[in-house]
Amino acid sequence: MKEIKVNHLKVGDILAGSICCDHSYKLLLNKGTVITAEHLNKLKKYNYYGLCLVAEERDVAGVRLDLLNQLGNDKIKRAYLDMFVISKSIFENLEKGNPINIELAKETVDVVVEQIMDSSNIVLQLAAVHLVDDYTLSHMINVALYSGALAKCLNYSIQDIKDICFSGLLHDVGKAKIPKEILRKPDSLTPEEFSITKKHAEQGYQILCQEELVNDRVRQVALQHHERGDGSGYPYGLHHQEITLFSRLIAIADVYDALTSDRCYRGRVLPHESAEILMADCTLNRLDTELVKAFLKYIILYPLGTRVILSDGRLAQVIKVHADFPLRPVLEILEDDTVEGGHMAGIVDMISEPTIFIKQILS
């Protein structure tokens, strides 16, 4: 971020902080606003010679802006960019041993939760398409979005939803203390390296214990999100009832996003395959069965517009998702065998076509 004079703003600049009127202190433009010519004309009347913060290119480097800009909802786009910038800031500052801005992180989560409450389906599509190149940052954001949306669908209180979303954002902060050569290793970890990686849960808890604005249930998520109901998790081998509800919920979003993300050592697993893995973990008493069922019922695994290849080789696009059967969406079949230039060639409801399944996700 950099500080500049308001009269030096240009069309396309992104505000890294809100702008208020110099005289009345009335809010003029929100943080995250992408400046237009209309905004510049407005600022000439109220705050043309004051100072403001704008995001530099490096602040949003690593975000697939080409995909994000296809989203018509500016509020959700701004909320997502805010989440990215604060996630990047938290991780970079922790790596350098600098303090982190928890107050700004909480404000960002409040904005994100507001969008989850208004348009959770659109927010979930952002998580599903993976807009951030860096896996660690992408994972922090996506776990926050998935878990916050699930909490909303379960009718949790607004404060619980905020705490769960905040927990998702901070659950992996301990990884900032893991050597980069281990964290980003392109091959499988050795037992010694995995032992070092596992320490991120306790390290994350210790980091958050130093922050007065972080409550204990958020800290417990950082500590417990790798615990499993059968006692096979870490760091303490806790069993089901010993693991907090928030930690059990975050664990599901954590596993699902890890499975459906491309990693340097393996490709992503398809949503329906990930769902099967989650259910298998339930049968082993590793994950909370009721929460997994709710996740698979409410979280959109195949967002609208997702282009896929079917088991019979046809190219298709998701046009509807059944609330009770999210793994069997309604598809628009495309004639062409390429993503570009497809034309409608019929509609297939996968519920009525049990022999057809999704083989590959294209975008």
| Catalytic residue annotation | 175
Beta-sheet pairing, 315-320 with 330-334: antiparallel
- How big is the CA angle at 114 (ends 112 and 118), to the nearest 5 degrees? 115
Question: What is the C-alpha separation between 27 and 23, in angstroms, rounded?
Answer: 11
Question: What is the C-alpha separation between 86 and 100, in angstroms, rounded?
Answer: 9
CA 313 to chain centre: 31
**Residue matched to tokens 């701004």:** 78
Q: Determine contact, residues 149/123, Cβ cutoff 8 Å.
A: yes
Quote the tokens at residue 160: 């619980």
Buried b (16+ CB within 10 A) or exposed e, 226-265: bbbbeeebbbeebebeebbebbbbbbbbbbbbbbbbeeee
**Residue matched to tokens 């949790």:** 156
CA 166 to chain centre: 11
Nearest to 179 by CA among 208, 163, 201, 199: 199
DSSP string, 224-272: HTT--TBS--SSS--BGGGS-HHHHHHHHHHHHHHHTS-BTTBPPPPHH
Q: Could you tell me which residues come within 8 angstroms of residue 241 by beta carbon, excluding any fewer than 6 positions away?
A: none
185 CB-side CA count, 13 A: 13
Number of Cβ within 10 Å of residue 208's Cβ equals 25
